[in-house]
Amino acid sequence: MVILILGATSAIARSVAEQYAGAGHPIVLGARDIEAAEAVAADIQIRFEVDTWAKQFDALDTESHADFVADIEAEAGAIDVVLLAFGDMGDQEESERDFAQAKRVIDINYTGAASLAEAVASRMSERGEGSIIGISSVAGDRGRKSNYFYGSAKGAFSLYLQGLRNRLSEHGVHVMTAKLGFVDTRMTFGMETPIPIASPDAVGKAIMRAQQAGVEVLYYPHFWRGVMGIIKAIPEKVFKRLSI
């Protein structure tokens, strides 16, 4: 079973790669920083004794995505599971001052993710099997002033995955949306959070278990489902006066 992991140098992606490699699956790692991806691939190959490939991948270069997927399948074989783990929170205040920065956040988190998912989905639907895992965020469940460009892109990506799941269900392809809360990564480095931060290792294990169980929407840590249920239920007149 070939596993394609994009955004492969992130802590979450690396943890997921280790879970599947530990189960004996060959791993293809795609990242913008090819040298970092090659280092991760070499490490996994040595420790888990599985075949690995490192490929340069640019989420913003959407015109290359179809060929990128075709080249991987020609070299490594049909992709059975793809994890879309790339993303960029950006800087909210910078995005408010310069829409080019906001567009970059939107394009990485939504446009690039949807483009790559489509390139894989068409191949999986023809084969009648496969699993697409998209990492979204609880930030996409309700817009907040502190990160509404990032949150809106993740919210759009969650809706996209919902529609893709609806489309591909009759073709035997599983689509999972992983809505993550705070995770101990570069993205949250230095952040003061009122809620405990999950470890990348725990997230990686949870994602693999959920994919194998056919889960469609995963909140992790699981208490975020309840937290976001409460936050979404707050009336707009009240919510706009809050700083959460």
Rounded to 10°, the helix 148-168/99-106 angle is 30
How much is the pLDDT for 188? Answer: 60
| pLDDT tens digits, one per residue of 26-36 | 999 999 999 99
Output the pLDDT for position 244.
73
Check if the beta carbon of residue 164 is closer than 8 Å to that of residue 120: no
Q: Residue 139 — very low, low, confident or very high, per pLDDT cuts 50/70/90?
A: very high
Quote the CA–CA distance of 194 and 192 in Å, as a whole number.
7
Q: Is the pLDDT of residue 9 over 90?
A: yes
Q: Provide mean pLDDT across the span 49-61.
A: 97
Q: What number of CA atoms fall less than 13 Å from residue 113's CA on the CB side? A: 30
Per-residue pLDDT at 170: 96
Exposure on the CB side of residue 118, measured as CA atoms within 13 A: 15
pLDDT at 58 over 80: yes
- How many H-runs (helices) and E-runs (strands) does the chain carry? 10, 7
User: Quick check: 30 and 57 in contact, CB under 8 A?
Assistant: yes
Q: Which residues contact 24 (CB under 8 A, 6 or more apart)?
A: 48, 50
Q: Which of 139, 133, 98 is closest to 213 using CA atoms?
A: 133
C-alpha closest to that of 217 among 173, 139, 162: 162
pLDDT tops 70 at residue 187: no
Largest CA distance in the chain: 56
Which of 54-63, 82-91, 192-201 bottoms out in mean pLDDT, i.e. has the lowest? 192-201
The pLDDT value recorded for residue 184 is 75
Section 120-125 average pLDDT: 97
**Helix, strand, coil percentages in the chain from 3-state DSSP, rounded to 5:** 55, 15, 25
pLDDT surpassing 90 at residue 97: yes
Q: What is the 8-class DSSP label of residue 10?
A: S
For residue 51, give the amino acid letter.
D
Tell the burial category of 45 from Cβ atoms under 10 Å away from its Cβ (0-12, 13-18, 19+). Answer: middle
**What's the pTM?**
0.93
Percentage of the residues of the chain whose pLDDT score is greater than 90: 91
Find the helix or strand (DSSP H, E) in which 47 lies. Answer: helix 34-48
Mean pLDDT of the chain: 94
Work out the pLDDT band at 242, boundaries 50, 70, 90.
confident
Cis peptide preceding 221, ω within 30 of 0: yes
Catalytically active residues are 150
What are the residue boundaries of the structural domains of the chain, listed by start?
Answer: 2-240
Q: Looking at the domain 2-240, which fold is it?
A: Rossmann fold (3.40.50)
